[in-house]
Structure 1
């Protein structure tokens, strides 16, 4: 990994990379220049940490210049090559010229690279020439390779950077025509698709593999088929990564590279030397959600009014279980002093729990540990970047999972329209959203199915939806506006659980009679709905009466209702009709504003229940 990917001083970066399990690093020149340690000390530290120093970068603007400028290039290169010998690095990255180039001639560039190669060879160094996407004349890897061919020097080869190739839309298939031994280095970066100048895009918005939109699986396949046998290195310029903890970011980076290796191996079994991760299918369903608080009685009352059944108390812990249909909610008061209700964990049902555990271990995913006794079911869990604990358990062939039997003295089952958990929506801190997406895709096989920005009263809420192949498991991840994260705004920062219903109108009516606090929806919404959607007056009146919100697509309909927020949790009850696959995103701004208004009303003592 390039040291530019993470924050901290050079020594901190090296230690973080070693701890994360990297084999080597690229040394970014500004990191060395600003380090108090000598090149020899950095070299010795890397050796002690088990890291190789594989590339020194960058050396800029070395070709396409007049003779006077090239003389200055050679003097600069001589000094850099002596430094590299002290550091113990034998490959230097030379970028295509963006600043001083005055001659658009491949022969001139080749002649100058050849002379640079002669000087480098005297020091035992090789030059990896890279076409920058914003190079003045050379901005395509295919032209860079033509120049290297013309140079015809054994110390001059190419560096291939996925960002510079894929951001410009260049066809990477031509990589296979480059002899593998002439590819001196390969750098990898993912990125989101953006309408932005390529330099700003590159310097601020690169991502680790699997977090963006680039086809890195295909890119790496082309590189390996060319016969390249050197390092696959991450070079990711990202403002967030350079502000966050280097050890955590390095671990995230290593996980992304391991996930990419697995994806390449599965996409092309003819490639050798790649290691797949243990096979593990995506979750087959939600097992449970867990809410922690010092006092969970308010959640208990809410669930009872929504038609859930108390399944009793755990036989050894201050934990209760509530269920309706296949939906299970665990309420935990253990080690929760001073905490208001928050969504602490989700559980997945998986078809092979043992394989999932091996996959988590292979990805070096942080684990969650809780005390269990000999007679209790031991559930394994990982810690997501946002702090949510994610459990997995073997899906039961029939009936309920074994851990449910640990709850005793439950009440009689209550008939409920609730059938299961439709989706769980998590709010992620802004600095971990990309890491969170990678966590769920690499570890649990979910994929991003949609992304949108939702306007709220304090700004845009970014949202991306992850789902399993059959979308039985749906997991929206939201990033609230920074101002709300700072202020702890209750609306945008709340996580919520959406329960699927056979008849959400019946649930809303019954819940109202039991006294459930339902989020009031403003009358303006229903006037707008009547103008947008052709609904019978009776249907519209019922929606208004029950505070139901509505969405329709060509595939089907979506009816949903929200509860009041308790602590940092609220619930949603949804009914999907036909093949509707969305989440009523158009209704989210109404919900956000209604929650903000309700929060203010509660603080002033004016919040009431659903209007009759």
Structure 2
């Protein structure tokens, strides 16, 4: 698989972008004319730099508004093209992207469009250049890839083919199956982009909201499979216009982009048999092994866990680390971190083959995490998520593996419990990358996102989970001007009312819920006065749907983390979304 990326996807100057692309492992680049024009380096210098970095210049782009015009305008277009072809010769690339006319087209006639594209191709041929014609989703007369292909066929030039762009095709709802009717040798280039489902004009959607594969709602594996079946043999290239990616660290974004292509190509091979598998099979997590909180001043959390019914399991035999558990819910407090305040540092997942899970993560570009292990201790291999959160995998029961390394605690009298979900917050510039990491490395499935009102604006919530719902990870994106939401660990128990009473009697102060919330519960749900009074007395929150009920409460925030105790009754699958605005407001 050859890979490429358009320089428009990345922040910085052209030279900076090229170094980042090479470091990320791309084979080639599409050079945007705006990037070259703004560079101090000559086309010859850029060509030499790409050669030193091992990058091929796959395509120069774009050339706009050529066909469907009057003769005078077309003559000027040929003049413009001549200059572009000269620049391409200096760059050392032989392919140019020509977009369907969206600005100056006045003649809706395929014969005219084919004749003019043919003349452009003839001029390009004198420079040894090929033309990839692309139907823009907002093209004046040509906005469908099938229409573009008919015009290319009519023009009938050996150096004229089509460029297929997943956004332009899928955003318009066009069926990609007909790609297989195109001669594979005439598919000169392929551009890939994902995107969220948005109801807006397609030009704004394209210019600001494209995403890397695996982050949006497009079925890109099906799209790619059709293209490969047609006989396309060129590079898989990314063209992603996104305001966030053009502001974030260029090296990190390039690595993020490269991971998305690996994931997409591998998924396409797995689902359709098109291409070769690039990474090991996904290891689906069947439990959360543990959650680790690291930082200073963890004594407050020791007290809080005891109040919630957790049992102290002891200190690690060789590290300043201690373990608390409630049934299958295991929380590690790590004092050896450099964090100044407690934060959710990492978590472990139970899988069938831990080594395979780690190798897959490394193949997808996740960096390995090193943690010293002494003789006789189990080595849990891990990688770092884009924000630094450490993810560990284990294929042995905790109670007969790493948990035996903790000494001086107790096992008797444990209350019930299991990690229900981990709620993690991200900065605006990290969110899409985190979604891709959860999809590709953790093999979690995204649910439809939702917006939750908060005191500083809407918070976007994206739940990632396994198909069976055993592992759940709601991911929150705060407004750009708001601080990153604190992360929290939700522990599910059988009787949250009893847990709340015990914790209160032991001195735990809950997150205080306004009285107005309980007045509103009467309007939302038909609760009897006794049940409503009990909820109010214990600062419990309540939700209900057609499948069951959800009762929960929150602890105060300690540093950058807090706990949530939940009880699910019946087949309730949600997270109390209607209560989130109250929680966010109270925490502020």
Normalised TM-score (structure 1) = 0.94
Structure-1 residue corresponding to 2:557: 565
> SS of 1:580's equivalent?
coil
Q: Which residue of structure 1 lines up, in the alignment, with residue 287 of structure 2?
A: 285
Contact 2:270/2:277 (CA < 8 Å) preserved in 1? no
Counterpart of 2:428 (choices 424, 427, 430) is: 430
The reply on whether 1:360 has 2:361 as its aligned counterpart is: yes
2:532 is the alignment partner of 1:540 = yes
1 CA distance for matches of 2:294 and 2:103?
58
| Equivalent residue number for residue 458 of structure 1 | 456
Which residue matches 2:384?
383
1:407 corresponds to: 406
Whole-angstrom CA distance in 1 between matches of 2:205 and 2:115: 32
Contact kept in structure 1, 2:342 and 2:561, CA below 8 Å:
yes
Distance 1:569 1:244, change over 3 A: same
139, 145, 162: which is aligned to 2:143?
139
Q: What's the offset of the Cα at 1:461?
A: 1.2
Q: Write out per-residue CA displacement over residues 255-286 of structure 1, whole angstroms, 9 at most, x where no aligned residue.
A: 000000111111112x3x42242012221110
Separation in structure 1 between the aligned mates of residue 266 and residue 195 of structure 2, nearest angstrom: 19
Does the alignment pair 1:307 with 2:309?
A: yes
| Secondary structure, counterpart of 2:474 in structure 1 | strand
Report how far residue 514 of structure 1 moved. 1.0
1:486-497 equivalent positions in 2, closer than 5 A: 493-497=485-489
Q: Kindly indicate whether residue 49 of structure 2 is the aligned counterpart of residue 49 of structure 1.
A: no
1:367 Cα deviation after fit: 2.0
Question: Deviations 1:555-590 (Å, cap 9, x if unpaired)?
Answer: 111111111111111110001111111000000111
Q: In structure 1, what is the equivalent of residue 580 of structure 2?
A: 588
How many Å separate the matches in 2 of 1:450 and 1:175?
29
Structure 1, 286-295 or 55-64: larger mean CA deviation: 286-295
Helix, strand or coil: the match of 1:414?
coil
Match of 1:551 in 2: 543
Are 1:467 and 2:465 an aligned pair?
yes
CA distance in 2 between counterparts of 1:190 and 1:217 reads: 11
Partner-residue secondary structure (3-state), 1:544: helix
SS of match in other structure, 1:454: strand
| Equivalent in the alignment of 2:63 | 59
Tell me whether 1:80 sits opposite 2:80 in the alignment.
no
Q: Say yes or no: does 1:148 pair with 2:131.
A: no
Question: Who is 2:375 aligned against?
Answer: 374
Distance 2:178 2:544 in 1: 46
Q: Is the 8 A contact 1:176 1:225 kept in 2?
A: yes
Give the drift of 1:467: 0.1
Structure 2's unaligned 5+ residue stretches are none
- Corresponding residue for residue 124 of structure 2: 120
C-alpha separation between the residues in 2 aligned to 1:161 and 1:446? Answer: 27
Contact 1:282 1:469 in 2 (8 A): no
Question: For 1:81, what is the secondary structure of its paired residue?
Answer: helix
Shift of 1:37: 1.0
Q: Which residue of 1 aligns with 2:320?
A: 318
Q: Secondary structure at the match of 1:450?
A: coil
Normalised to the residue count of structure 2, the TM-score between the two structures is 0.98
- The 8 Å contact of residues 449 and 463 in structure 2, kept in 1 or not, is answered as yes
Quick check: 1:104 aligned with 2:108?
Answer: yes
**Aligned-pair distance for 1:412?**
5.3
Give the number of equivalent residue pairs.
584
8 Å Cα contact 1:114-1:151 kept in structure 2: yes
What is the CA deviation profile of residues 65-114 of structure 1, one whole-angstrom value per residue up to 9, with x for unaligned ones?
11111111111111111111111101100001111111110000100111
Q: Write the deviation string for residues 533-570 of structure 1: whole angstroms up to 9, x where unpaired.
A: 11222211111111111111111111111111111111
Secondary structure at 1:482 match in 2: coil
- Report the Cα distance in structure 2 between the residues aligned to 1:157 and 1:44, rounded to whole angstroms: 28
Q: Distance in 1 between matches of 2:459 and 2:223?
A: 33
Alignment partner for residue 222 of structure 1, among 197, 210, 226? 226
> Hey, what does 1:607 align to over in structure 2?
none
Aligned to 1:442: 440
**Alpha-carbon separation, structure 2, partners of 1:110 and 1:333:** 70
CA distance in 1, matches of 2:81, 2:157: 17
**Distance across 2 between alignment mates of 1:205 and 1:93:** 21
Query: What SS does structure 2 have at the residue aligned with 1:42?
Result: helix
Measured in 1, the distance between the counterparts of 2:346 and 2:404 equals 20
**Match among 333, 336, 339 for residue 338 of structure 2:** 336
| 1:264-279 correspondence to structure 2 within 5 Å | 264-269=268-273, 271=274, 273-279=275-281
The counterpart of 1:25, out of the listed 20, 25, 29, is 29
Distance 1:593 1:286 in 2: 29
The separation in 2 between residues aligned to 1:386 and 1:401, in whole angstroms, is 31
Q: Contact 1:501 / 1:574 at 8 angstroms: preserved in 2?
A: yes
Residue-by-residue CA offset, 1:120-155 (whole Å, 9 max, x unaligned):
111111000001111111111111111101101101
Q: CA RMSD in A?
A: 1.2
After superposition, the C-alpha distances for 1:186-220 in whole angstroms (9 at most, x for unaligned) are 10000001111111111111000010001111111
Question: C-alpha separation between the residues in 2 aligned to 1:257 and 1:169?
Answer: 22
1:280–1:352 contact (8 Å) kept in structure 2: no
CA distance in 2, matches of 1:61, 1:498: 55
User: Which of the residues 439, 464, 476 maps onto 2:474?
Assistant: 476
Aligned counterparts of 1:404 and 1:81: Cα–Cα separation in 2: 66
Give SS of 1:559's match: strand
2:299 is aligned, of 297, 310, 328, to 297
Q: In the aligned structure 1, how far is the partner of 2:414 from the partner of 2:131?
A: 73
SS of residue paired to 1:400: helix
Q: For residues 400 and 224 of structure 2, what CA distance do their matches in structure 1 show?
A: 42
1:187 and 1:289 map into 2 onto residues whose CA distance is 40
Distance across 2 between alignment mates of 1:148 and 1:90 = 18
SS of the equivalent of 1:483 reads coil
C-alpha separation in 2, matches of 1:385 and 1:445: 15
Distance in 1 between residues matched to 2:208 and 2:69, nearest whole Å: 29
Shift of 1:401: 4.7
Greater mean alpha carbon deviation, residues 297-306 or residues 508-517: 508-517
Q: Do residues 574 (structure 1) and 566 (structure 2) align?
A: yes
